[in-house]
Amino acid sequence: MPDTEKNQACFPQSRTQKAGLGFPVARLVAVVSLSCGAVLKWATGPCAGKASGETSMLRDLAHGFGAGDLVMADRYYAGYFMLATLIECGADIVIRQHQQRKTDFRRGKRLGKSDHIVDWPKPVRPRWMDHDTYIAMPDFLTLREVRVADWVIVTSLIDAKTVSRMELGALYPQRWQIELDLRSIKSVMQMAVLRCLTPDMVKKEIAVHLLAYNLIRAAMAQAAVLYNTHPRQLSFKATMQLLRASDIDARHDRGLTASSRYYLLLRSIASNVLPRRPGIQHLRHETHQHNTDVAAELNLS
């Protein structure tokens, strides 16, 4: 964002940059819908200082989760206190095991090959946590650990009859869609560089960007429902370009009603289906119907 005194005070530049040679930088943590890509909630803050880490910001958002929600995240969020906070809110979790935690499938209650239930004991109190909060945390967490390919997945869905190891293995790779969503926000919508001169206006600028992003996602969801496809199979960039072109056409073409023009727009959006690609996206297409069933069972709509 612009290098103003107020922006620097609220969002200091990187400590590795000399004064006058850097720019204020903000951190954004977002909760994104897996089914359609909409941003459900978000938090912003500085990139350095107390309570400015990603886990701290997610804990501030955790109160919005509840029973029926399923949280998927990368292994950065797989710490004991983060998982305990999410579970206490009533949400289920599917998170990749942290690289520093060793998994021994010879221990715990065996559910199948590379699939077991274990109790995680509460670690010592970290310096950032006050004593009362630490005491309120459970003494242990009962979690399921599953190995799928080269990943170990940690989940609170401990009933193997309800959610199988293969279902977890098919579900978790779809988390990569969130990385693509964040790329769309920062790159396609050009939110990586902000323009406002004060912190309050910077936060409003971020909110307006995310509002516009969600409106585009809403149009994609409507097109997907109307033309029997899936929102995740449609191109975000193409949808944004079509919306811009439609706005220009509407100013000059008065031959169609607004509703007719909108249905034509939705048909155009639904026709921009992403190609089959190798890797994670190819896997998503291969397991789309299977994962849709799992998502419905876990209330992921």
pTM: 0.83
78-131 pLDDT, tens digit each: 999 999 999 999 999 999 999 999 999 999 999 999 999 999 999 999 998 999
Sign of the C-alpha dihedral computed for residues 223, 172, 45 and 183 taken in this order: negative
CA atoms of 42 and 57, how far apart (whole Å): 9
Q: In this structure, what token pair is assigned to residue 239?
A: 């949808």
Asked whether 52 and 28 are in contact (CB, 8 A), the reply is no
Beta-bridge partner residues of 71:
93
Q: Residue 257 carries which side chain, given as an amino acid letter?
A: T
Name the 3-class secondary structure at 153.
strand
13-40 pLDDT, tens digit each: 887 778 878 899 999 999 999 999 999 9
The tens place of each residue's pLDDT in the chain, 301 residues long, gives: 999 999 999 999 887 778 878 899 999 999 999 999 999 999 999 987 776 788 899 998 998 898 999 999 999 999 999 999 999 999 999 999 999 999 999 999 999 999 999 999 999 999 989 999 999 999 999 999 999 988 999 999 999 999 999 999 999 999 999 999 999 999 999 999 999 999 999 999 999 999 999 999 999 999 999 999 999 999 999 999 999 888 777 666 666 777 888 888 999 999 989 887 655 443 343 334 433 333 333 333 2
> In Å, what is the CA distance from 278 to each residue of 174, 180, 190, 275?
14, 15, 27, 10
CA atoms of 265 and 201, how far apart (whole Å): 33
Q: In this structure, what token pair is assigned to residue 153?
A: 């997945």
Residue among 85, 71, 220 at smallest CA distance from 141: 85
CA atoms of 229 and 243, how far apart (whole Å): 19
Beta-bridge partner residues of 42:
30
Question: For 12, which DSSP code?
Answer: P
**Total Cβ atoms within 10 A of residue 116:** 22
Q: For the chain, what are the domain ranges? A: 29-177, 191-297
DSSP string covering 218-229? HHHHHHHHHTT-
